[in-house]
Amino acid sequence: MPTDAEEVYPKSRIHPAATAAGVSLLLAGSCFFAAAASRWLSARASRSWPQTEGLIIESRLASNCVRCRPVINYRYMVNAESFVGDDLVAGPQDYYNSREGQAEIGRYPVGRRVAVFYDPASPATGCIEPGVFRWEVYLFSLITLCCVGLALFLFRRVFRDRRR
């Protein structure tokens, strides 16, 4: 004969789906955390990179883009070796809507001289906007908190049901 607790909370009520969802949310949260952390750490590291003079050799917006990365190439030299870079910021590159992209290429017309900041350990890695990260870092951080919070809520419910 089942006890009152078993009638209210039967053992079959412990949802494997809730556990799987919690694990999936933790994995998703980990991915978003890694994306935010890589952007933040790259931006932070680039603030201390040495700089050299560079020249914008190409500046255009990719055709038919709604969310795109502006094409801005620049040439610079380190230790008598020539490099061509295309990163605006250090680390993973951000995407822009067409209006923002147009504004970015307007800031970097072909022929403009710019300061290029490069990684001393790997001079081929450079950027022209050191220490900058965009709103995606905050968005990824918020999504991470939501995923982890929801996963903890699900795990708490599952384990609470399991004890009964």
Tens-digit pLDDT profile for residues 105-151 = 899 999 999 999 999 999 999 999 998 777 777 888 888 999 889 88
Show Cβ contacts of residue 17 under 8 Å, excluding neighbours closer than 6 positions.
none
For CA atoms 146, 95, 134, 35, give the dihedral sign. positive
Neighbour order of strands in the sheet with 71-78: 81-85, 71-78, 51-60, 113-119, 122-127
Which has the closest alpha carbon to 148: 20, 43, 29?
Answer: 29
Confidence of residue 72 (pLDDT cuts 50, 70, 90): very high
Task: Look up tokens 């050299």; give the residue.
Answer: 52
The pTM of this model reads 0.69
- The answer for 22, left when phi > 0, alpha when psi is -120 to 50, beta otherwise, is alpha
**End-to-end C-alpha distance for the chain, whole angstroms:** 16
